[in-house]
Amino acid sequence: MFYEHAKGFRYEELVCSWLEHNGWKILGRRVKCPYAEVDILASKSEGKYMNETIRMIEVKSVSNRDYLFLRLSNRQKVRLHQALLYFSYKWQKDIELQIAFVDSKGSIEFFQLED
């Protein structure tokens, strides 16, 4: 169990580093709400009018890219969606939900999780 926890923390660090390097501000890590613990909350101001984009990111390790979406159970998807609604209401902002898949070499692949 400790190994998996340490690996998850290390992969979250990799994703946070990537986000910061690409202009994102980390708002929080392992943020708890009544529905789920969110791995990463990040924001970035973009475009002509500096519109703020907020992302809620779930980090998952993968060893086989053929089964990426099996790493997220239906129960987890429901809980993440509930957390998304919670933070959207709390902050009165639209929030994107993404999954960051990280492999053992440190490669990161982001996918938008649709409603």
Prediction pTM value: 0.87
pLDDT in tens, 59-93: 998 876 666 667 788 899 899 999 999 999 999 99
C-alpha 80/C-alpha 105 separation (Å) is 26
What CATH number is given to the structural domain containing 97?
3.40.1350.10
Range of the domain at 56: 2-112
Task: Indicate the number of domains in the chain.
Answer: 1
The kind and range of the H/E element at 23 are: none
In angstroms and rounded to an integer, the radius of gyration of the C-alpha atoms of the chain is: 14
